[in-house]
Structure 1
């Protein structure tokens, strides 16, 4: 397992950056870095189950299933992965089970520092570095364009 960390300064209030990152419409835009057509099903409240899924070429969906462990609006979200979906089939086993992903938002003088920290299986680390680097840049652009 590897621990990855990404950070970006965004010229926007934390509440706005939070909304850009987590609202479904803008989520679909910035997660194109991972997979065209990515979306989520579920909610961001503590205890909610959430599925991060995207379409496969054959019309099925694949992705990860998580539980929201902690949610402090406009400050922090923690996700613990409990399974995955491969070709529409749900499994609660696999390399992502038990791993965490955290988003932190801290604002000073109208500038928000967004920090994304995640645990990933070693075999995913290189891909995730590239995808998250692109994704966090997209979040910054989306938040600063409004």
Structure 2
């Protein structure tokens, strides 16, 4: 398992960034860095299952481990979805965490991922792009 961490300074309040991260329209915008047309289904309540899809009905499903609005969101990834069918995976503690910390000039967004090694290059290439989109949306959205 690889631990990857990404951080960006954003000149916006944590609540605004939170809205960009998890709002339906803006989520679809920033996740284009990973897969064009990405979206999620389900609620973000702690303990609930969320399904993350691409336009072909493939993706992954995860349990919301922590949801502290404006501060922290943590997912435990449980398995993959192929053609709409869930396939459990033995990933252990494959997690994805988003932490927002208010600063004097805005907010620091830190994303930490526990991922199998085969996904490392994908995240290394695409997560910085996603953070750039989140920053742009958070600082420039009307």
- Band of TM-score, shorter chain: over 0.9
Distance (whole Å) between structure 2 residues aligned to residue 84 and residue 69 of structure 1: 18
After TM superposition, the structure 1 stretch with the greater mean CA deviation from structure 2, 2-11 or 78-87, is: 78-87
Q: Which runs of 5+ in 1 are unaligned?
A: none
CA positional deviation for 1:143: 0.4
CA positional deviation for 1:86: 1.6
Distance (whole Å) between structure 2 residues aligned to residue 34 and residue 40 of structure 1: 13
Q: How many residues align?
A: 141
Q: Which runs of 5+ in 2 are unaligned?
A: none
1:118 and 2:113 aligned: yes
Q: 1:90 is matched with which residue?
A: 86
1:134 to 129, 134, 138: 129
Q: 2:96 is matched with which residue?
A: 101
1:69 to 65, 71, 82: 65
TM-score (norm. length: structure 1): 0.92
Runs of 4+ in 1 over 4 A off after TM superposition: none
Q: 2:77 is matched with which residue?
A: 81
Aligned to 1:55, the other structure's residue is in SS state coil
After TM superposition, the structure 1 stretch with the greater mean CA deviation from structure 2, 113-122 or 103-112, is: 103-112
Q: 2:9 is matched with which residue?
A: 9
